[in-house]
């Protein structure tokens, strides 16, 4: 059986969760008698990822990491790292945040996610996408009513098998807006328009082209 070659490994050998390594920063094959390299645990990967920022071998990484920690300790308590991005973006006023839950306050902690402005933008986009996909702004019945009014047809007639242009265009517009923009399910739209799921799917594609064209 071929011997495993030692490879550079910036992992802390003092950590029980890490593989055994020598002082020169090389990995030693696991002593389980199989000669097969074991998959790294999450703890091993975490230690390695951290130390890789400070050096390519254990010896150098340890020295630089220790210097980094000592430098941080000497700085003492830093006010710019207290309270999270949401508090700092509010001018340091904690009064408006005292009633929030811990997990809500941590959403805007700059030490985790970045500045409060960045987090606000992300949450704003997430909320907009959520509203767009849940269809909470307008009901399906109201959408149908508005589209029918635009085309000058009655909503009840839309349920009939009328294939003239105003009716077919109204169906494709409703199918596209209700599913792509408001987040309704295809089955709900099919039931509202008295169509099959396949017909709604085709109408949705045609609706996008019709909207882009106009």
In tens, the pLDDT along 58-104 reads 788 888 888 888 888 888 776 655 544 444 444 444 444 444 444 44
Alpha-carbon span 83 to 105, nearest angstrom: 9
As given in the structure block, the two tokens for residue 129 are 């996408």
pTM strictly above 0.75: no
What are the Cα distances from residue 210, in Å, to 88, 174, 175?
48, 11, 12
Identify the structural domains of the chain with CATH numbers, from first to last.
1-76 (no CATH), 81-93+103-134 (no CATH), 140-213 (1.10.1750.10)
Alpha-carbon span 158 to 18, nearest angstrom: 68
Alpha-carbon span 176 to 134, nearest angstrom: 15
pLDDT in tens, 135-193: 446 788 988 898 888 889 998 888 888 888 888 888 988 888 888 888 889 899 999 99
Alpha-carbon span 11 to 13, nearest angstrom: 6
Position 27 confidence tier, pLDDT thresholds 50, 70, 90? very low
Angular region, 21: left φ>0, alpha ψ -120 to 50, beta rest? beta
């Amino acid at each position: 059986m071929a011997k495993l070659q030692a490879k550079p490994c910036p992992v802390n050998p003092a950590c029980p969760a890490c593989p055994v390594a020598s002082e020169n920063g090389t990995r030693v094959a696991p002593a389980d008698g199989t000669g097969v390299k074991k998959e790294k645990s999450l703890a091993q990967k975490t230690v390695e990822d951290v130390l890789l920022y400070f050096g390519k071998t254990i010896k150098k990484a340890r020295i630089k990491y220790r210097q980094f920690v000592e430098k941080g300790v000497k700085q003492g308590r830093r006010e710019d790292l207290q309270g999270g991005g949401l508090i700092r973006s509010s001018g340091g006023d904690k009064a408006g945040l005292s009633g929030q839950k811990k997990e809500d306050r941590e959403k805007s902690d700059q030490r985790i996610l970045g500045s409060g402005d960045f987090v606000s933008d992300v949450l704003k986009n997430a909320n907009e996408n959520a509203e767009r996909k849940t269809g909470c702004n307008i009901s399906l019945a109201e959408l149908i009513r508005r589209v029918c009014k635009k085309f000058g047809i009655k909503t009840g007639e839309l349920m009939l098998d009328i294939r003239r242009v105003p009716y077919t265009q109204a169906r494709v517009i409703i199918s596209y807006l209700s599913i792509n923009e408001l987040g309704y399910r295809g089955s709900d739209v099919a039931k509202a328009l008295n169509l099959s799921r396949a017909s709604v799917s085709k109408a949705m594609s045609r609706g996008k082209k019709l909207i882009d064209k106009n």
